[in-house]
Amino acid sequence: MKTNTAGINLIKKYEGCVLTAYRCPAGVLTIGYGHTGTDVKEDMIITKAQAEKLLKADLIAFEKKVSAYDSIYHFNANQFSALVSFAYNIGSIDQLTAKGTRSLEEISKKMLLYNKAAGKQLPGLVKRRKAEQELFNKKATKTNTAKTETAKTDEAAKAAGYKIKVTTPKGLYIRKGASTSTTKVGALVYGAEETVTKEKDGWGYIDGKGWVCLKYTKKV
């Protein structure tokens, strides 16, 4: 899954775009849209285009960190994007999720606690956490009807014919299309076995039910 427009805009708003290297409230050298790392040097200057490029690269890294928990939480687009923004600022969501042991409701509540830098509460972080919480709790907009979601997936689906078994203890959602951004239409419990009749981009279709992510299954 990729960060949606609301998530990217949130990051840009609260990071700001500074084209000359500076030290953030925590004392870390920063440039562009909150970019940090060994490549950032004192008095460094970049262009707006370079700042956008750095943001895109940074987003990929933080999207991977959030995606690592998707098999547990099955995030919708807004939850995922809010957590990418959170991780972009904090570094990860490991502590926020208690490594996958907290519920989505608990995660939402705990977000607001991360509003300090160097032990001091900062108004900017208070506002950012609130904005991230609001995005996290906002119901994901269904831009396509269920019929459209299915049609788009079916266009590139390949025929298959094998049985799978759910391997994730938390179970697995069934979706209308081959993507976590499509509508949830059901779920399979741990150990459930089903027959996949077609597949696309790591997703398998179960006749009469919908699509499941094959990453959390094994062939039987």
Residues annotated as catalytic are 15
SS3 20: strand
Torsion angle defined by CA atoms of residues 11, 57, 137 and 168, in that order, rounded to the nearest 10 degrees:
-160
CA dist 62 and 58 (Å) reads 7
Q: What is the DSSP letter of 144?
A: S
> What stretches of 41-131 adopt beta strand conformation (E)?
116-117, 120-121
Helices (H), the chain: 5-15, 48-67, 70-73, 77-90, 94-97, 104-111, 123-137, 146-155
CA dist 12 and 32 (Å) reads 10
CA dist 50 and 38 (Å) reads 16
Task: Provide the token pair at 19.
Answer: 């084209």
Torsion angle defined by CA atoms of residues 54, 55, 60 and 65, in that order, rounded to the nearest 10 degrees:
110
